[in-house]
Structure 1
Amino acid sequence: MSSKQILVVTGDITHCEKLKQNLEAGGYAVDIAYQGDEAIDILKRKWVDLIITSITLQGVMNGIHFLQEIKKDKELQNIPVIVQTSKVNMEKSVKELVVNLFITKPYDMGDLIKKIKEILPD
């Protein structure tokens, strides 16, 4: 059985690396991007099973714009998305976008892995 492919998109390099290590330890294959346009390029080149993104990204494309781009693309719009944010009220701002789960930072890595397993069953 091949491992599920996850794309992590966040402007926080330290958090991104930590998340990548934890996900790989959980058996997932992980790509990372720090900018929305970089993430779109990855998504056009390879399939992913899940996207974990932040609203705050590096570069000109923020997380909301990134989510809007995913929603517009028929090949990408059905990929499950988890949004990690430190802003409690952000869920209301992007509820019409392609988001399966909001998780508020800081969060327990075990809880995130559990949610991922619910979204991506074996």
Structure 2
Amino acid sequence: MAKNFVSDGDVIPWTNNSGQAVASGQVVVIGHQLGVALVAIAADATGSVALGGVFTVPKVPAATFEQGEKLLWDASANAFDGSAAAAAAGDVAGAAFAWAAGTAGQATAEVRLSPGNASKA
């Protein structure tokens, strides 16, 4: 193994500076990326956050999207929306796609995190 190897990059230690406790399974914004807390993380504490994988997460109930569609993390709703949604301040685009289609009325969606080329409004 290379002497400069740090990590596979699937999980990142994250210090919760949001001012609120984060529950295991909750989506968190890390810079321009999205992750899912693997453990409960108290305010000002550090915990493990997954940067990749498929998770069942909150979805904007009115949103509809196709399998494979790039999704928008709506920061004000704390939920994923379809790619047709207009990004507002704090929203993150390009960090996830729909693992399965989303229909109106669903409160959750299966989402694949895909770190890399995300952008934050």
Q: Do they fold alike, i.e. is TM over 0.5?
A: no
Q: Which has the higher strand share?
A: 2
Pair member with larger Rg: 2
Interval containing the TM-score (normalised by the shorter chain): under 0.3
Q: TM-score, normalised by structure 2?
A: 0.27
TM-score, normalised on structure 1?
0.27
Larger fraction in helix? 1
